[in-house]
Amino acid sequence: MELGERIRYFRRKCGYSMEALGEALGVSRQTVHRYESGVIENIPRAKILRMAELFGTTSAGLLGFEDPIFEMDGVMPLRRRRIPLLGEIACGTPIYADEQVESYAVEDDGVHADFCLRARGDSMTGARIFDGDLVFVRACSTVENGEIGVVVIEDEATLKRVYYYPEKEKLVLLPENAAYEPLVYLGAELEGIKIIGKAVAFQGRL
């Protein structure tokens, strides 16, 4: 993938129009179009650094020298190490999650991730988690309200923001896409539900 194609990919993934990106870079829409079409090949380093900052990646990731690693709120970028990939996780309606382990090299700079899952679906796009992304997970049985959790519902796994109200015996799993309704569980319905981890980072694919 050429630099212009990567710029277009990141721009769309992060929700920027050409006009908005141009405004953030201090250039015109036409210049952004020339970047993406390859008409301008020697993009100034300052613009590369600024785009990497806007896209939540590194200049090396934008230039294609390394896999793009995205940060989640309050999470440091990862340093190189291997994390087991345990199948898929639904970003939409809960789906069965296979536990076929394969190794995946990531960066780890102080963030502890015990395993990763590949996201399927589009219910978490508001959190910049897209279909096919890798989600890195720290194993735990509880999360704070508002954190993104890996939740198993009767052997089916889903990725959602978690809100638990014990006094009401109520669990709300909130998607990050207005096209999806929250999943709400009450009383006895909670018996078949467990949290197995918290999402701590994710990695997009070019």
Catalytic residue among 28, 47, 141, 160: 160
To the query of whether residue 123 is one of the catalytic residues in this protein, the response is yes
Q: What are phi and psi of 188, to 5 degrees?
A: -65, -20
pLDDT at 42: 86
pLDDT digits (tens, 9 = 90+) for 124-162: 988 889 988 888 888 899 999 999 999 998 878 899 999
The pLDDT-based confidence of 59 (bands split at 50, 70, 90) is confident
Segments forming the whole domain that contains residue 35: 3-66
The reply to whether 84 and 151 lie within a common domain is yes
Catalytic residue among 123, 141, 168, 198: 123
Give the tokens for residue 154: 């009767």
In a domain, 184, yes or no: yes
> 0.95 cut: is pTM over it?
no
| Length in residues, the chain | 206
We report the CATH number of the domain holding residue 103 as: 2.10.109.10
The reply to whether 94 and 147 lie within a common domain is yes
| Mean pLDDT lowest among 44-48, 99-103, 106-110, 176-180 | 99-103
Q: 3-state DSSP call for residue 191? A: helix
To the query of whether residue 13 is one of the catalytic residues in this protein, the response is no
We report the CATH number of the domain holding residue 48 as: 1.10.260.40
d(CA 149, CA 79): 22
The reply to whether 134 and 186 lie within a common domain is yes
Q: Indicate the number of domains in the chain.
A: 2
Nearest Cα neighbor of 34 from 52, 22, 46, 20 is 22
In a domain, 73, yes or no: no
